[in-house]
């Protein structure tokens, strides 16, 4: 197999990995809302997780869409990463992000008893911590936009100065921060209840498979370009994969080792679908 044939094979493998991890991550959105609907209850599921996850995928949709379709952002990326030529963001990344927005909205709507009629234990409300994070993630790109307009010599088009690509990177950093924090309320809730009942493990298994395949695709794309800066040039994809894998392993340990024999505590008094950060009343 000569070099050109090898490149064709590697590109095909990269596309296969991309669509496979997108399919795995996409499927991971469905088990949780389906199980909540079947149980007619949000017991065991953190409202904070679903609330902030919606914003996270909105930010990720903006990030992937602009890297795919904005000539300004793509040219600025090429100027900063000349060996890589083009971003390692793929259409499957955007498709996954857009589906994430839709499914997160569906899952969050289930916490509104008047909308779908599901039982919501102890009447939840999004914590002030997550509301603060939401506000911060909205303000951050606005602040960087102001900096770009003030500091760039040509209105944000010079890639060697403050540029519009920096604003788009902020959306990816928003997604990274949200992904780092969003799992914590759910992991703590499982600990409080000493049970993972209500938190569907297939969401985690599919999430883990997607994270591993996403990381493999990023490494493969960068090796194909013979430029490992393609990895650091796409920090959202790199860190999202690693953070996802880390927390998924925590949930797997909780489900299969720590609380494997736990019964459903949803009818018992005490903490349910809340964390120390939550105030419990209807949203």
Q: Is the pLDDT of residue 55 over 70?
A: yes
> What pLDDT does 279 receive?
35
Q: Is the pLDDT of residue 265 over 70?
A: no
**Is the residue at 278 inside a domain?**
no
Share of the chain above pLDDT 70, in %: 84
- Mean model confidence pLDDT for the chain: 82
Instruction: Among 81-95, 157-171, 256-270, name the one with the lowest average pLDDT.
Output: 256-270
Per the structure, the complete domain to which residue 183 belongs is given by: 3-114+126-258
Mean pLDDT of 120-138: 87
C-alpha closest to that of 97 among 22, 205, 30: 22
Contact partners, residue 138, CB within 8 Å, separation at least 6: none
Decide if 255 contacts 205 (C-beta within 8 A). Answer: no
**Do the domain assignments include residue 18?**
yes
**What is the average pLDDT across 152-173?**
84
User: Domain for residue 281, yes or no?
Assistant: no
Residue 267 lies in a domain: no
Q: What is the pLDDT of residue 61?
A: 95
**Nearest to 67, CA basis, from 199, 166, 174:** 166
In this prediction, residue 54 carries a pLDDT of 95
Report the domain count for the chain.
Answer: 1
**Domain assignment of residue 146, yes or no:** yes
Query: What are the backbone dihedrals phi and psi of residue 228, each rounded to the nearest 5 degrees, phi first?
Result: -75, -5
CA distance 68 to 60: 12
In a domain, 234, yes or no: yes
Predicted pLDDT at 280: 35
pLDDT, mean of residues 44-54: 93
Percentage of the chain exceeding pLDDT 90: 42
Distance CA 151, CA 157 (A): 11
Is 102's pLDDT higher than 90? yes
Q: What is the DSSP letter of 41?
A: B
Domain assignment present for residue 268? The answer is: no
> Is 120 inside any structural domain?
no
Q: Among residues 91, 98, 119, which one has the least CA distance to residue 54?
A: 98
Phi-psi region of 234 (alpha: psi -120 to 50; beta: other; left: phi over 0): beta
């Amino acid at each position: 197999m000569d070099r050109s044939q090898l490149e064709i094979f590697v590109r095909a493998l990269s596309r296969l990995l991309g669509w496979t991890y997108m399919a795995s991550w996409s499927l991971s959105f469905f088990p949780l809302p389906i199980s909540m609907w079947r149980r007619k209850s949000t017991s065991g599921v953190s409202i904070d997780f679903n609330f902030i996850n919606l914003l996270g995928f909105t930010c990720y949709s903006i990030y992937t869409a602009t890297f795919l379709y904005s000539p300004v952002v793509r040219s600025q990326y090429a100027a900063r990463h000349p060996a890589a030529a083009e971003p390692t963001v793929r259409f499957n990344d955007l498709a996954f992000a857009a589906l994430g927005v839709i499914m997160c909205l569906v899952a969050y709507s289930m916490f509104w008893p008047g909308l779908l009629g599901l039982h919501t234990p102890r009447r939840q409300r999004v914590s002030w911590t997550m509301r603060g994070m939401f506000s911060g993630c909205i303000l951050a790109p606005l602040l960087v936009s102001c900096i770009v307009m003030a500091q760039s010599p040509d209105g944000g088009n010079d890639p060697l100065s403050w540029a519009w690509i920096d604003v788009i990177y902020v959306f990816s950093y928003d997604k990274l921060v949200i992904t780092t924090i969003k799992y914590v309320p759910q992991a703590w809730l499982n600990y409080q209840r000493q049970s993972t009942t209500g938190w569907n493990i297939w969401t985690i298994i599919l999430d883990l498979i997607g994270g591993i395949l996403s990381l493999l695709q990023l490494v493969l794309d960068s090796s194909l370009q013979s430029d490992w800066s393609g990895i650091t040039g796409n920090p959202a994809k790199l860190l999202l994969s690693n953070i996802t894998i880390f927390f998924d392993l925590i949930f797997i340990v909780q489900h299969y080792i720590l609380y494997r024999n736990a019964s459903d505590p949803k009818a018992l008094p005490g903490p349910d679908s809340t964390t120390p950060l939550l105030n419990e009343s209807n949203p």
